[in-house]
Chain A
Amino acid sequence: MKMISLAIAAALVLSTSVVGNAAAQEPIRLGVATAVSGDAAAYGKPLLDAIQYMAEDFNKSGGIMGRQLQVIYYDDRGVPDQGLQVAKKLVFDDKVHVLQPGSTSGVILTAMPVGKDGKVAMWGYGLAKQWLIEGEGAIFRAGVPEQVSVTSLAAFAHSQRKLRRVGILHIDSFPGESTRDLFKGAFEGRGDGAKIAAIASTPEGTRDFSSQLLTLSRAKLDGLVIAVYGSGFAPAFRQARQFLGKDVVLMETASQMSDPKTRAELQDLAGGAYYASSPMTPVNPDPMTQRMVNNLKQRLGIYQEFMGRAVVGMMVMKEAIERAKSTDSIAIMKEVHKMRDFPTPAGPFTFDPRDGEGLKTGIVVEGNASADPTKDKVVFTVRTSEPIYKERVDYTRFFGAGYREQLYKLHKVN
C-alpha cells in the first residue's frame, strides 16, 4: 500500500514537471490576466472569450503583420496579489509582447508595474483613472472611463429625472469607492439642493445587503445608485427593490444591467431603472456596433457590454502593431498615441494626450421590464473632447522629454 502511494506521488511529480508549455518564437503573444474564478469572473470570463474570438478572427485573415496571434492567459481571480503573480509569469516566463494586466481596475493597478518593468505594451478595460495616469503612456484604455459614464448618469438623474435625494450603495473596494466619490461630486456639483442623502458600503463578495438597505429605506430617498460590481450586483438590485419599493429610482454605472445573464436574475425588475454605458451596448443603433454585437452573439451565444471593450482593445492593438510594423512596445504605444478617428464599434478612437483617453462618449439607458436588454432605450448621450481629469499623463520615462509637447501639437491641444 505504501509503495503504491509512493509510486503515485512520484508519478504526480514527474507528470507535472514534464508537462510544460514552450512558447514558440514566431507568433505574437498577447498575455491576459483575467478572472476566470471568483467574484469578478462574471467579467473576466466573457472578456476572455471575446479576446479569443477576436484572435481567431485575426488569425483567419492572415494574422497581424502576417504573424499569428497567440493568446496566453491565467486566472487572477480578480485578486490584485494573484494578478501580480500572473503578470510576472506572462511577462518574464511566457515573454508576451502585449499584456492585458487584469480584468478589474484594482488588479490592473497592481499588475501594471510589471509590464512597465518588462517594457511591454499594455491595454486594460477597467474604468478607473488611476492606472491610466500611472501608466505613463505605456497602457491604453479600451473603454469609456467611468468619469464619463458616471457623470453622464449624474447629469441625467439631476436634469432629466429631477432627483434630489439620492443614496449610494457601494462595495468597499476600490472600484466601488471610486464610483461613489465620482457620483457624489458630479451630482452635488449640479446644485439646486441636490444631495447624496445616505451612503452605505458593503464588504466585497457579500450577497446580503439587508442591513444596509433597511437603513437606506429610512432615508427618504428618491433614487439609489448601486455601485456593486460582480456577482453581488443582481442580489443587491433585487433586494433594493424589496426594501425600497417601486418609488425609488434605481441606477447603476457599469452597464451590468445590459448583461443578459444578470438580467436573467433580475427578470422583470429592471423596468424603470437606468444604467450608464459605453457605446458598446446592444441598444446602440450604430451599424458598426450592431455588427459587432451580432457577430459575438453568433459566435459566443451571448453579447455583454464589456465584451465590446475587449473588441475595441484588440482592434486598436492590431492597428497599432501594424502601423508600427514591429512588436517593440514603445513603437506600438507611439502609434496608439497618434491615433485619430480610428473607427471602432464604440465610435472613433481619438487619443487625447492630456488624459490618455481614446473614447469619451457616455450614454444612459433606461431598462425595460423584461429580461431582454435589447429592448432597452437610450435616453441620454454625452460626448466630450475636453480632458476629463485634472491630472496629466507624464510620458517622460518611456518616451523622453519633449514627447508630450509633440503629441499635443499633433492633436492640436494644449
Chain B
Amino acid sequence: MSHPPGRPNDGSLPPGATARSAEAAPMNAAAAARSRSGLGARALLHVVIIVALLLVPVLFRQQEFLLGLFVKMFLGVTVLMGFLIILGFSKQFSLGQVAIYGIGAYIAANLTTNLGIGFFPALLVSGLVAGVIGGLIAIPGARFVGPWLALVTFAFAEIVRILMARLKPLTGGSVGFRNIPRPEIFGYRFSGEADYYFLFLALALFAYLVTLRFRHSPYGRIALAIGDNPDIAASLGVNVFRQRIFAFFVGSVLAGIAGAAFAGYTTYISPESFGLAHTIQYLTMLVVGGLESIPGALLAVVFFTFSHNQLMKWHPWDLILDGFIILLFMNLLPRGIGGLITDLRQRWALRRGAGTKEQR
C-alpha cells in the first residue's frame, strides 16, 4: 500500500474513493442481512447494558467520584455522536464542533442564570440554536471540501473562543460564567453526582438513538454515500447540498445539548474549556472508534474516559499516548475498532453461511 498517492487536481475526491463506492453495494446488502438475523441478539444486548447502567448509581451510591466518571463518559458519548454524524458519516471536516458545544453551554448559562429559565427548556433552546448555527455553517461549508472547510471551521472556533473571552456582559469574559444554577425538575434541585448520572445517561441514550436512527435511515445512507464520493452521489440524484446541511444540523443539535448539560453540571464555564484540546480529544476517539461505526465510538469513549482518569498522574504522557494511539490506529487499524467489529461480524456471518457473499 505504499504506492504514491494519486491526486486529482482539485483535491476533492478522497483517493481510492471509486474503489470504495464499488464495495458499497454488496456491503449494504450484507448489512441488511445482518440486521434481520441479529436483531434479537442485539436488542437483548442493549437491554442488558441499559439495565446495568441503571443499576450502577444504586450499587455505588456513595462513590461520588466513580459516578462522576460515568457522567463524563455519557457526556463524551453525546458529543462524539455529533462528531460521528458530521465528520464520520458525511465526512465534513468540521474542526469547529467545540465552538458549537461552547455556544450551547453559554446560551444555557445565560438563560438559566440571567433569565431564570429552567434547565430543561434551556437545554432545548440551546440544542435548537446550536443546530441552526451548524446548519448555517454548512451552507458555505458545503461548497468547500477538505482543507478549506477544516480551516474555515477552525477559524470559526477560534473566533467564537475569542468572543467568549471578550463579550463580558454575555459571557462573563475570560473569568468565565460562574454560579450557574443546577438543574431543577419538578421542584427537586439536583445535588450529588447520582442525579446528574441519570440526566447524562438519558442524554447519551438520546444521542445514541438519534444517531442509530439516522444511520439506518435514508438520510444516514445518503450521508455515507456523500462522504464516500460526493460526485457519484450527486450524479445519482442526491441533493448533496441539502443533505450535508441536514447532517450538520443533527450533529450540532447534539453538540448544543451536550454543551448546555455541561454548563448545568459544572456550574462554571470559561473559554478555556472550549479550545483545541477538546477537539483533539474527540478526534482521537473518532479515529480509535472508527469513522463510521457507532459501537466503535461507544467503546472508544469508555476506554478513553477511564484510561485518562488513571493516566492523569502521568500528565503530559497521557496526551503523548493519545497521539501515539492515533498514529498506531491509523497505520494498523484505519477503520478503527468499528472496522474491526465489522470485519469480525462478516467472518462470523460467512462461517454461519448467511448466504450473502461479501467481498473484503
Residues of A near any B CB (own CB < 8 A): 1-2, 4-6, 8-9, 12-13, 16-17, 19-21, 36-37, 74-75, 79-82, 84, 86, 88-89, 92-93, 106, 109-110, 172-174, 177, 203-204
The distance in angstroms between the C-alpha atoms of A172 and B311, with both chains bound, is 32
Could you pull out 13 A-B pairs where Cβ atoms are within 8 angstroms?
A8-B332, A19-B310, A37-B316, A74-B313, A75-B312, A75-B316, A84-B266, A88-B65, A92-B64, A110-B178, A172-B165, A173-B175, A204-B165
Cβ–Cβ < 8 Å partners of A9 in chain B: 333, 337
Interface residues of B in 120-177 (CB under 8 A from A): 162, 165-166, 173-176
Structural contact, A16 and B270, CB atoms closer than 8 A: no
Structural contact, A172 and B176, CB atoms closer than 8 A: no
Give A50 Cβ to nearest chain B Cβ, in Å. Answer: 19
Question: Which residue in chain B gives the minimum CB-CB distance to A111?
Answer: B268
- A16-B313 in contact given A88-B65, A92-B65 (Cβ < 8 Å): no
Give A111 Cβ to nearest chain B Cβ, in Å. Answer: 9
Indicate whether B306 reaches chain A with its CB closer than 8 angstroms: yes
The distance in angstroms between the C-alpha atoms of A12 and B288, with both chains bound, is 13
Structural contact, A88 and B68, CB atoms closer than 8 A: yes
Indicate whether B343 reaches chain A with its CB closer than 8 angstroms: yes
Structural contact, B268 and A110, CB atoms closer than 8 A: yes
Cβ–Cβ < 8 Å partners of B233 in chain A: none
Structural contact, A4 and B332, CB atoms closer than 8 A: yes
Structural contact, A13 and B175, CB atoms closer than 8 A: no
Cβ–Cβ < 8 Å partners of B309 in chain A: 89
Structural contact, B315 and A36, CB atoms closer than 8 A: yes
Structural contact, A106 and B175, CB atoms closer than 8 A: yes
Indicate whether B35 reaches chain A with its CB closer than 8 angstroms: no
Indicate whether B303 reaches chain A with its CB closer than 8 angstroms: yes
A1 CB contact (under 8 Å) in B65, B68, B173, B332: B332
The distance in angstroms between the C-alpha atoms of A36 and B313, with both chains bound, is 11
Number of B positions contacting A (CB below 8 A): 35
Structural contact, A204 and B174, CB atoms closer than 8 A: yes
Structural contact, A16 and B310, CB atoms closer than 8 A: yes
Which 4 A/B pairs are nearest by Cβ-Cβ distance?
A81-B273, A93-B65, A16-B307, A173-B174
Interface residues of B in 325-346 (CB under 8 A from A): 325, 328-329, 332-333, 337, 340, 343
- A172-B166 in contact given A9-B337, A79-B273, A81-B273 (Cβ < 8 Å): yes
Structural contact, B173 and A172, CB atoms closer than 8 A: yes
The distance in angstroms between the C-alpha atoms of A110 and B161, with both chains bound, is 19
User: Which secondary structure characterizes the binding site on chain B?
Assistant: helix
Interface residues of B in 192-232 (CB under 8 A from A): none
Cβ–Cβ < 8 Å partners of A12 in chain B: 303, 307, 325
The distance in angstroms between the C-alpha atoms of A410 and B65, with both chains bound, is 40
Return the CB mask of B237-269 against A: 1 if under 8 Å, else 0: 000000000000000000000000000001011
Structural contact, A89 and B340, CB atoms closer than 8 A: no
- A5-B332 in contact given A19-B310, A37-B316, A172-B174 (Cβ < 8 Å): yes
Question: Which residue in chain B gives the minimum CB-CB distance to A75?
Answer: B315
Return the CB mask of B268-296 against A: 1 if under 8 Å, else 0: 11101100000000000000000000000
Known: A5-B333, A173-B175. 18 other contacts (CB 8 A): A1-B332, A2-B340, A5-B328, A5-B340, A9-B333, A9-B337, A13-B303, A37-B316, A74-B315, A80-B268, A80-B270, A86-B312, A89-B309, A172-B173, A172-B174, A173-B174, A177-B173, A203-B162
Cβ–Cβ < 8 Å partners of B273 in chain A: 79, 81
The distance in angstroms between the C-alpha atoms of A4 and B313, with both chains bound, is 28
Structural contact, A17 and B306, CB atoms closer than 8 A: yes
Interface residues of B in 296-310 (CB under 8 A from A): 303, 306-307, 309-310
The distance in angstroms between the C-alpha atoms of A106 and B268, with both chains bound, is 12
The distance in angstroms between the C-alpha atoms of A75 and B313, with both chains bound, is 8
Cβ–Cβ < 8 Å partners of A80 in chain B: 176, 268, 270, 272
Structural contact, A16 and B340, CB atoms closer than 8 A: no
The distance in angstroms between the C-alpha atoms of A407 and B135, with both chains bound, is 60
